[in-house]
Structure 1
């Protein structure tokens, strides 16, 4: 899915983290709600979501929000 989502106009990137116990979080960034809607309508993505519900996940939570501000710090920069 990582390669496929990069083809969606308006996809900005994503970040993932996992604990040794298997808890995971993935944050994906899209330019706007229309770009996100394009991703949700993408056929391969829809098939993967269905397979995930059927075979992989006991539960998950999806949050959709707007980033108002973002900044960072990198000592080495």
Structure 2
């Protein structure tokens, strides 16, 4: 009977530790993938904001030009 317990422990411990190692590796791999996805989404959002800011600057410059032209036309 003791031999059965010894074999169960000798086989069970490596199997359990291997399973725990694999689960831990999968967990951290998924966390890293989520972080990379979040970073790419943030980068995309920042790119959109930068594009919008550039468009806004261009529109302000156009409005300033229009205002200067209107001021120059009125006596």
TM-score with structure 1 length normalisation?
0.20
The structure having more radius of gyration, on CA atoms, is 2
Considering fraction of residues, name the structure with more helix: 2
TM-score with structure 2 length normalisation?
0.21
Query: Which one has more relative contact order, counting CA pairs under 8 Å at least 6 apart?
Result: 1
Considering fraction of residues, name the structure with more strand: 1
